Amino acid sequence: MASLSPQPRKLPADEEPADPKTALLTPPVPSPSSPSSPSPSRFLFAFLLVTTCISLAISSAFAFLLLTSNSKPVKEVARSLSKLPHPVVILISSDGFRFGYQFKTSTPNIHRLIRNGTEAETGLIPVFPTLTFPNHYSIVTGLYPTYHGIINNRFTDPVTGEVFTMQSHESKWWLGEPLWETVVNQGKKAATFFWPGSEVKKGKWSCPDKYCQHYNGSVPFEERVDTVLGYFDLPSNEMPVFITLYFEDPDHQGHQVGPDDPEITNAVAHIDSLIGRLISGLEKRGVFEDVTVILLGDHGMVGTCDKKLIYLEDLSPWIEIESEWVQSTTPVLAITPPSNVSLAEVVSKMNEGLSSGKIEHGNYLKMFLKEDLPTRLHYAASYRIPPIIGLLQEGYKVELKRSDNKECGGAHGYDNTNFSMRTIFIAHGPQFGKGRKVKSFENVQIYNVIASILKLKGAANNGSESFADNILLES
């Protein structure tokens, strides 16, 4: 019976196993007739290697995401003073510096403050009316004109019949508490080189000769800067903590030639050079980084021409506006009729004529009882404000009668929502972030900001108590 057990096959000579001793030293050589194939162990090794690398990469990525999601960006905080014993604020006003003027020409010094400080990105909003005295006094009191009493550059007290002008320094006109008064009332020193209201004696502020300059427009701007720098050469106990500095330009040129003339460009360049002079002087004394410099304006500027005139005499078919009724014409038309004349009827008849289409440019003027003015203007509560107010569109002017006068220049005082009335706010100092942009805000907020920097207890005002926390760095 045949056996079913497999029989061993005899290998050919070329397949005979090599000597065992030689085989340990010599790797197997594949047969030239068949291609070589990687072994299963090599496939396994490669697979494990790739899988391990991928796992490590994924783990690293998750670890990075976990770490970065829990980490917080470095928060900028107020810088410590390096030389001065206490904070000092220099408040600089460039009158009529319309927002955008800083781009008219090269202004390296202004842009140095912008680059290393905080800027109102689309400008500072003035109070209404956008005039010099009301706005300068709002900046230093934090009050709207209704509450600080300076409701125009010139006005009549309806009770006493007395007239306020820009040369009036009696305290009865100037209500509220300006910053220089706040400073000295709390035992510190303040200095003013011109600012509306600074010559008025209020509280403990007596406008001392050493620290208070009486207005004289002929004093060169450079001399004003040098006087301010001199305060930093005083002993620390005599050094003022709050200083104002005022320049009439470019408002002076703006009224003469409007906002787009080369004279404005030259004036802006001069203001920039003055800022450079101030910075250089502070750097030489080693205190520039310690001092807070706030550069701002009081209002903007818009061009005006004869073709944008409205004449009150043209309203005669509807109502006769007597010249003695008119307290001011442009840009705030303010009217006080006699007590026996109906205020509502005057407003109604004037608006009827202005909207009739028969008055040249009449649709660019609208009359209001002051209590009916838009509440955002904050221009009703004071008894000093005339009972009838006319709001002009920007660039238009009012005159009582036609004349041959030819004028084409610039003006301000219009509705403070007009972008042309905006000015600048640029602040550089230990408590202002570098290169930071903030939204536009009204200038009544500035009082609280400065009071916070100087660690003063501020007087009651119309600004927000929390605004300083939003614009200043944490100590």
By annotation, the residues acting in catalysis are: 132
The answer to whether residues 129 and 331 touch, using CB atoms and an 8 Å cutoff, is yes
**What region, left, alpha or beta, does residue 471 occupy, with left being phi > 0 and alpha being psi -120 to 50 degrees?**
alpha
Distance CA(221)–CA(223), nearest Å, equals 5
Structure tokens at 415: 């509705």
Pairing of strands 397-399, 425-428: unpaired
The answer to whether residues 358 and 347 touch, using CB atoms and an 8 Å cutoff, is no
The one-letter amino acid code at 430 reads: P
Residue 159 backbone phi and psi in degrees, to 5:
-90, -50
DSSP conformation letters of 295-325: EE-S---EEEEGGGEEEGGGGTTT----GGG
The one-letter amino acid code at 51 reads: T
The one-letter amino acid code at 196 reads: P
Alpha-carbon separation of residue 96 from 124, 352, 422 (angstroms): 12, 35, 9
The answer to whether residues 130 and 421 touch, using CB atoms and an 8 Å cutoff, is yes
Give me the residue label for tokens 């706040």. Answer: 182
Distance CA(131)–CA(421), nearest Å, equals 10
Residue of 448, 475, 395, 467 lying closest to 182 (CA atoms): 448
The answer to whether residues 80 and 242 touch, using CB atoms and an 8 Å cutoff, is no
Dihedral through CA 407, CA 308, CA 443, CA 296, nearest 10? -40
What DSSP designation does 190 have? E
Dihedral through CA 454, CA 458, CA 462, CA 468, nearest 10? 30
Residue of 255, 265, 10, 268 lying closest to 153 (CA atoms): 255
